[in-house]
A and B are shown apart, each in its own frame.
Chain A
Amino acid sequence: MKLTTQLLAATAIIGAAGTAQAVEMEVMHWWTSGGEAAAVGKFAEALNERTEHTWIDGAIAGGGDTARPVMVSRIIGGDPPAAFQFNHGRQAEELIEAGLMLDLTDVAEAEGWKDIVNPSSLLDACTYEGRIYCAPVNIHSWQWMWLSNDAYEQAGVEVPTNWSEFMETAPALREAGIVPLAMGGQSWQQSGAFGVMAIALAGEEAWLAVNRDKDADVVMGPEYTRVFEAFGAARELAEGLDVQDWNQATNAVIEDTAGAQIMGDWAQGEFAVAGEVAGEDYSCLAGLGETGVLSTGGDAFYFPVTGDPEVEAAQKELAALLLSPEVQVAFNSAKGSLPIRGDVDLTSVNECTEVGLQLLADGKTLPDGNMLLSPDTTTQTNDLMTEFWNTPSMTPAEVQERYAEIIRNAD
C-alpha cells in the first residue's frame, strides 16, 4: 500500500514536471505518400528545433475522407489532438460553430497575417464571424491540364495551347492509337475536371454566380450550356482507358499512351518522380489555356480548444511557426505546392510552377470550390458528375438540369 502511494506520487511529480517544461503536441494529418511525409517532416523539424515542444506525428493513412471522421470523433469525444489538418474551406465550419476550435485572432494580429497571406481569400476561409480559427499552410490549384509532348509528336500535330485546339487535334491522336484524355474512375476526378472546365469555358463571373451565389438560373444559361457540351465531348475523348486512381491516369500521360489529363498541380510531382522535364517532355496549360486563373485550395491547420493554458500557448506558438517564411519555403518546396505568402521565394521552380507563381502575384485567383460549397453539396456534385461520365445514355442537357437542382438546394 505504501509502495503504491509512493509510486503514484512519483508518477504525479514526473507528470507535472513534464508539462511544466514543454508540451507534447500530437498533430493529426493525412500526408502519408513519400513527398507528403517529407514535407510534414519539415514542420516537425521546425517545432522540435525552434521551440521546446515536441511534435508527435499522428498520420492517418487513406486520405482525407478516412482521416476527417477520425479527427472529428477524437475532438467530439473529448480527446482532441493539439492540431489537425483540414482542407481550406467549410469542412470545419460546424466545429467552429460548436465552440470546439481555438480562436487564433491574437496570433494573426501579432504576426500580421492580414498583410502577408496572399491571396487574402485563404484567410477569409479561416474567418468565422470576424475571428480567425485556422492557419493556412499551402496552396494547391486544380486549374491545370498536363499534356504529353511525345504523344502529340507521334500523332504529327502541334501540342495544343488551349481547349479548342485540344478538341481539334483529338481525332489525330485517336488515329495514332492514343487516348486523347486520361481520366481516372474516381468521382472527385471527374467532378474536379468539370470544375476546371466551368471556370475556363464559362468564365469567372458565371462560375462565381453558381458556386458563391448559388444561382441556378446561370447553370441553365448559355455559358454553362457550353461547359456541359464540352464535358460531354470530353467523356467521349476519354473512352478506351480504364484506370481508377489519378496517378495511374497521370502515368498514362507520362508513358505517352494518353494525350492529356486535367488534374491539379499535385500531378506535377508524378512527372518529377518519372524524371520528366516541364517544357521538354510535358506541357502545362493553366486554366486550359482559356482563362488564366488559379483556384486556391490547399490545406490549413486547426487547433482544438483544450482548456489547458500551457497547451494553448504551445498551439499558438505552432500556428505562428507554420506561417514563418523559412518553414513555408522548406515545406512547400518538399510538397510541390505554392506558399501562402507572397514575400518568399521557393528554392527551385520549373516552367509550370513559375506560371502558377506569376498568376498568384498578379492576383488572378479564385476561391476553391471547397470554400464556397458545403461538403454535402460537393458529395452530391461528385455523384452526379461520375454518374454522367459513366452513363453513355445520359445527355449533357439532363446533367445540366440535375446540376441546377443541386445548386438550387445548396446551403
Chain B
Amino acid sequence: MAVAEEAGHARRSSPRADRKPFRLFHNLMPKIALIPMIATALVVFLGGTLWTVVYSFTSSGLLPRRNWVGLDQYERLWSSAKWIVSIQNLALYGIFSLVFTLVIGFTLAALLDRKIRFEDTFRTIFLYPFALSFIVTGLVWQWILNPDFGVQGVVRSMGWESFTFNPLNDPDIVMFGLLIAGLWQGTGLIMCIMLAGLRGIDEDIWKASRVDGIPTWKTYVRIIIPMMRPVFVTAVVLIASGIIKLYDLVVAQTSGGPGISSEVPAKYVMQTMFGGQNLGQGFAASTMMLLSVVIILVPWAYLEFGRRKRG
C-alpha cells in the first residue's frame, strides 16, 4: 500500500519517469551485472538451504534419497547424548568467548589508544595470531597445554612439583582449553576494529570531558562506548559467526575428546554425514543449527537495523 502510494507520488512529481515505462529497466546495466550474484544467492544459499531442510525429513544415508520418515531424524538427534553435549559446549564457549573477546579486545584497544610507545609493535603482536588458521592455532595450543611438554611440564621442572594444569585431558574443563586458544587467536582482530572505532572519536570530546572534570574511566563507559555502538555491532557479528562455525579448532586441538566432552554441533554434522554415512541425520542437525541462528539473530538484527530505518 505504502509502496504503491510512493510510486504514484514519484510518477506525478517527475514527468521524466513517464518516458521510462518499466522501473525494472531503470539503471539497466548494473542490474544485468548483478544477475549472476542474485542467481548465486537464490540457487546456492536459498536453494541449498531449502534442499537441506527438505532432505532432513528423509532417511538418506550415503546418497540423498526421498524416503520420507517424518520427524524421526529430529527425534534421534534430540535423544543423542552427543548432540546435547555439543549444544551445551557451544553455549558455554559462545557466552565466554563473546564476553571475553569484547572485554579483552576493548581493553587492549583502549590501552593502545593512550598514545603509548611502540604502539605499532604491540598492535602487530596482538594481531599476529589472527594470521594463523584455526588448525595451526589448535595444534600449537595442543602442545602448549600438553601435560608433559607444555605449561604444566615447565612449571613442574622449575620446582613446583604438585602444579597441575591439564585442561585437554580433563572432561570438566576441556572447553576452557579450547576457549584460551580461541581467545588468543581472535581478540587481535576485535582489538583492531575497536582501535579504529576509538580513533574515529573526535579529539574535542576528550577535551570537553577533561574540561568538565569527568574521570577517564567514566568517559569511556558513559560517552565513548555508547558512541562506538556501530563498532560493537560489527564486532559482535564477527564473534558470533566465529562461534557458530567453531569446528576446525576442536578437530585440531582435541578431536572432540576426552570422550565426547568437547564435541560441537558443526562436528556432529560433519561426522554423521561423512563418517557415519547418514546424510539425513546430518541435515537434521544442520537445520537445527540454522534454526538457532535464525531465532537468535533475526530479532536482534530487526531491533538493531530496523530501528535506524524508522528513526
Contact = CB atoms under 8 A, between A and B. Distances in A.
B104 interface: no
Contact of A374 (B257, B258, B274, B277): B277
B259 A390 contact: yes
A95 B272 CA distance: 17
Interface in A238-258: 242, 244
A384 B271 CA distance: 14
Contacts of A69: 274
- Secondary structure call for the A interface: helix
B61 A387 contact: no
A95 B62 contact: yes
A391 B271 CA distance: 21
Contacts of B259: 187, 386-391
B261 interface: yes
Contacts of A386: 257-260
Interface in B165-218: 166, 169, 171
A383 B82 contact: yes
A390 B257 contact: yes
Contacts of B82: 383, 387
A198 B47 CA distance: 47
B56 interface: no
A380 B276 contact: yes
Contact of A98 (B63, B257, B271, B276): B63
A242 B169 contact: yes
Contact of B274 (A65, A93, A185): A65
Q: Which of B171, B255, B276 has the most chain A CB within a 10 Å cutoff?
A: B276
Interface string A168-187: 00000000000000000111
Contacts of A380: 276
A390 B271 CA distance: 19
A390 B261 contact: yes
Given A76-B63, A94-B61, A95-B62, A186 B257 contact: yes
Contact of A379 (B147, B169, B255, B272): B272
B171 A375 contact: no
A376 B63 contact: no
Given A387-B259, A391-B171, A391-B259, A378 B276 contact: yes
B275 interface: yes
Contact of A390 (B171, B274, B278): B171
Interface string A358-388: 0000000000000000111011100110111
Contacts of B257: 185-187, 244, 386, 390
B274 A379 contact: no
A244 B260 contact: no
A224 B166 CA distance: 35
Nearest to B166: A242
| Dominant secondary structure of chain B at its interface with chain A | loop
A185 B166 CA distance: 15
B83 to A, nearest CB: 10
Interface residues of A, number: 30
B187 to A, nearest CB: 28
Nearest to A389: B259
A324 B285 CA distance: 46
A379 B62 CA distance: 14
Nearest to A379: B276
Most A C-beta atoms less than 10 A away, residue of B81, B166, B259: B259
Which size class do B's interface residues fall under?
Answer: 20 to 34
Contacts of B256: 187
Given A185-B257, A376-B61, A387-B81, A68 B171 contact: no
A402 B260 CA distance: 15
A390 B275 CA distance: 21
Given A68-B274, A242-B169, A375-B277, A390 B258 contact: yes
Contacts of A390: 171, 257-261
Given A72-B62, A387-B259, A376 B166 contact: no
Most buried by B among A72, A244, A378: A244
B246 to A, nearest CB: 19
Interface string A82-115: 0000000001011100100000000000000000
Interface in A385-411: 386-391, 402
Contacts of B171: 390-391
Nearest to A380: B276
A94 B260 contact: no
Interface string B246-276: 0000000001111111000000000110111
Contacts of A402: 81
A91 B260 contact: no
A383 B76 CA distance: 14
Nearest to A92: B62
Q: Which residue, of A93, A94, A383, A387, has the highest number of chain B Cβ atoms within 10 A?
A: A383
B290 to A, nearest CB: 21
Interface in B150-173: 166, 169, 171
| Highest count of chain A CB atoms <10 Å: which of B62, B81, B169, B171 | B62
A298 to B, nearest CB: 19
Given A376-B276, A383-B260, A387-B260, A94 B62 contact: yes
B81 to A, nearest CB: 6
Given A242-B147, A242-B166, A94 B258 contact: no
A178 to B, nearest CB: 17
Given A72-B62, A95-B62, A186 B277 contact: no
Nearest to A64: B275
Given A91-B277, A379-B272, A387-B81, A186 B62 contact: no
A374 B276 CA distance: 8
Interface string B74-91: 000000011000000000
Given A72-B62, A375-B275, 20 more contacts: A65-B275, A69-B274, A94-B61, A185-B169, A185-B257, A185-B258, A242-B147, A244-B255, A376-B272, A379-B276, A383-B260, A386-B258, A386-B259, A387-B259, A388-B259, A390-B171, A390-B259, A390-B260, A391-B259, A391-B261
7 closest A-B pairs by CB: A390-B259, A379-B276, A94-B62, A69-B274, A390-B258, A375-B277, A376-B276
Interface of B: 61-63, 81-82, 147, 166, 169, 171, 255-261, 271-272, 274-278, 281
26 contacts: A76-B63, A94-B61, A94-B63, A95-B62, A95-B63, A185-B257, A186-B257, A187-B260, A242-B147, A242-B166, A242-B169, A244-B257, A374-B61, A376-B281, A378-B276, A379-B271, A379-B275, A379-B276, A383-B81, A387-B82, A387-B259, A390-B171, A390-B257, A391-B259, A391-B261, A402-B81
